[in-house]
Chain A
Amino acid sequence: MLEIHDLTKRYGSVLALDGVAFDVAPGRIVGFLGPNGAGKTTTMRAIFGLVRADAGEVRWRGRPVSPEARVRFGYMPEERGLYPKMRIGEQLAYFAELSGMTGTAARQAVATWLGRLGLSDRSDARVEELSHGNQQRVQLAAALVHQPDLVVLDEPFSGLDPIGVEAMAEMLVETAAMGVAVLFSSHQLDLVEDVCQDVVIIDHGRVVLSGVLDDLRATSVHRSLEVTVNGEPWVPPMAGEVAGKRGGHVRVLVDSTTDVDEILADARRTGDVTSFRFEPPSLTDLFLEAVSEGRDT
């Protein structure tokens, strides 16, 4: 279990982290969300000691993170980086050995990973000779090659095409299934919703919402409502603000205590109900709500 306790970090007049606290449990995938500049990268760097927090601490398995524990972590920074002229096989083996593997174990792990990524025959290729997609795969392998206990990925989906996104999501799910704690940041919320079990939403250096995604959605005080009557979008009179429009649909957020039957009856009085959706709010709804509430207070 990774525990982040009240991390605070100030850069000059900017308070980058203002008491950030959350946990990442083994086998869980935690989506770490927030607008640009919210403090996601700073928090991730603090886990690896790349940023020293002014206050608070990061604990792993109940103890402050030691260098021995840290080499059992895997990290994919937002700024992707590999040695452009080094052969990928050697490069991955180098990273694995730096993380404490023996030479033999490292070579075996590299062979396994290259096979998994479909790059077995390119072990001697230099990074700069690979396609962008393959470079991304090698980058991910660099974070995972030493079979880490915790994996931290900063914006793993950015710059990937839909196939790459799919492969990355699959890889994260497989990794977590092996009992690895996975933390990743993103602002592509629709992707996160499909991949992660837990979310932590951060804004202005503070955690504004965190928990199991399904629970958060279920316990939200809002419900998402989307109705069409006679093929036209229909909004009940008591509805609040419009949460989204797409094509011929209008989605509104209503109170979770709203009586569904009553709304449906209302709609029927207006005409033929052609579609009716009443469901917990999406992650995007939760996110926008949490961020705006956080800013109001």
Chain B
Amino acid sequence: MNAWRQLWLVARREWSQRVRTAAFKVSTVLSVAVVVVLIAVPEIYGAGEERTRMVGVVGDASRAPADLIEATGKQLDVEADTRAFDSELAGRRALREGNVQVLLIDGSELVWEADPDERLRAVVTAAVAAVDRQAAIADLGLTAEEAARLLQPPDLASSSLEPVTTEEATARADLARIGLILLFMAIAFYCGFVLTGVIEEKASRVVEVLLSRVRPTELLAGKVLGIGLVGLAQFAIVATSGVVAYRFSEDVTLAPNTAPGALAWMVFWFVLGYAFYSVLYATVGSLVSRQEEAQSVQLPVTGVLLVAYLFSFAAAESPDGTAAVVTSMLPPTSPMVMTVRIANGTVPWWQIASSIVLMLVTLVGLLQLAGRIYAGSVLRIGRRVRWREAWHGAKA
């Protein structure tokens, strides 16, 4: 009997049993909904933010020319326009209905609906001041040259200590954060399936029937593979719906050049991270015979996963710091930290290569260790198996 075929049969069972469950369908639909909403809502919300702010003008409009307000607004990064009203009453009604955000009466009084918008106040104030200055210049009878000298803004030299945050960099950082959360959730979620799956086989005692046909390594590897494929499939569905949602939204902040590469790396590191942690979860799961004990037995592994998560948040703050570089190379932390670093910018190829190699080497060693502990403990039904017993159980 071909061991590979058995491994594949085990994986196929995991796949076919799990994609049929309500849990899978509900979690897929929910994830798609959450991703679409996350993408669509800032779009709706953002559109509201950037809506042109209207300045209602009543009475003497000479101190608030529309073109000047618009131009001043641009300088202060506010899109502003004006609208004239015949009477103060009509203006106040428009203010109350939200059609204008502020009412300028006779170029000297501002009326707000409630809390003043300070940026809009600055725009209007600057515009009115400019009109006043023009009037003063005309009164003084200055020449055009004198007027230009008076109005000439000082030319201040400008520089920054750190590199200026480009739109691209902001987008990368956003992507890294979203990716990190998704990666952590995916690893924790599917490793949870592996843990409960291993305990289920032990609790229902079916494991002895299985092991009379399949070696422990094939059973373990098949389970990890099958659940991993379910995870990838779900990820593909969610990611596709996310991309489609982006197509429909007109948001350009997610740098189109960055996204596909970072996404591919995320999937790659999900595979490695999932493989690493799921084998750990399967191993601790094989020590207990009841689902009730899952909580306590998984604690050390979940602890390591959480530490890796925290490290990757630190790495998001300074992706090229020593801590980030070191943790992105070492196996327990590398899947998440490296994902963050890659999404955040350019990582030297040798660092990526060595973290992958280290991870693969660790995985091979871990599989040997885990296979032995799993084999040594999975047939011991009853109380929780001690590590020592499991270790010696397989050899004996």
Contacts and interface: CB of A to CB of B under 8 A. Distances in A.
Interface of A: 11, 45, 48, 50, 52, 54, 67-68, 70-71, 73, 75-77, 79-86, 90, 94-95, 97-100, 142-143
B13 interface: yes
SS class, residues of chain B in contact with chain A: helix
A78 to B, nearest CB: 9
Interface string B369-396: 0000000000101000000000000011
B210 A98 contact: yes
Contacts of A85: 17
A99 B10 CA distance: 12
Given A67-B1, A73-B212, 9 more contacts: A45-B379, A50-B379, A52-B396, A75-B209, A80-B205, A81-B204, A81-B207, A94-B13, A99-B213
Interface string B245-276: 00000000000000000000000000000000
**Smallest CB-CB A-B distances: 4 pairs:** A81-B205, A75-B212, A81-B206, A77-B208
- In this complex, the interface size class of chain B, counting residues with CB under 8 Å from chain A, is 20 to 34
Interface in B94-128: none
Contacts of A143: 209
A108 B154 CA distance: 91
A99 B1 contact: yes
Given A50-B379, A94-B13, A100-B1, A82 B209 contact: yes
Nearest to A82: B206
Interface in B199-251: 200-201, 204-215
B205 A79 contact: yes
A77 to B, nearest CB: 4
Contacts of B395: 52
Contacts of A11: 396
B377 to A, nearest CB: 13
B384 to A, nearest CB: 17
Contacts of A45: 379
Most buried by A among B9, B13, B209: B209
B212 A48 contact: yes
B302 interface: no
Interface in B1-48: 1, 3, 6, 9-10, 13, 16-17
Contacts of A84: 204
A54 B206 CA distance: 26
Nearest to A94: B13
Nearest to A67: B1
B17 A77 contact: no
Given A94-B9, A97-B9, A48 B206 contact: no
B139 to A, nearest CB: 90
Contacts of B211: 48, 50
B381 A79 contact: yes
15 contacts: A48-B212, A50-B208, A67-B3, A70-B213, A75-B208, A77-B208, A79-B381, A81-B205, A83-B200, A83-B201, A83-B206, A90-B16, A98-B210, A99-B213, A142-B209
A86 B396 contact: no
B208 A81 contact: yes
B381 A98 contact: no
A48 B375 CA distance: 13
A98 B204 contact: no
B208 A68 contact: no
A71 B1 contact: yes
Nearest to B10: A98
A11 B380 CA distance: 13
A127 B382 CA distance: 22
A79 B209 CA distance: 9
A98 B212 CA distance: 10
Contacts of A50: 208, 211-212, 379
A70 B379 CA distance: 18
Which of B200, B205, B381 has the largest count of A CB atoms less than 10 A from its CB? Answer: B205
B90 to A, nearest CB: 70
A47 to B, nearest CB: 9
Given A67-B1, A100-B1, A77 B212 contact: yes
Interface in B327-386: 379, 381
Contacts of B206: 81-83
A11, A52, A85, A94 pick with most chain B CB within 10 angstroms? A94
B266 to A, nearest CB: 32
Contacts of B204: 81-84
Interface in B175-219: 200-201, 204-215
A73 B211 CA distance: 12
A86 B13 CA distance: 10
Contacts of B215: 67
A241 B395 CA distance: 48
A95 B10 CA distance: 10
Contacts of A79: 205, 208, 381
A100 B9 CA distance: 10
Nearest to B6: A98
A11 B393 CA distance: 9
B1 to A, nearest CB: 4
Contacts of A54: 396
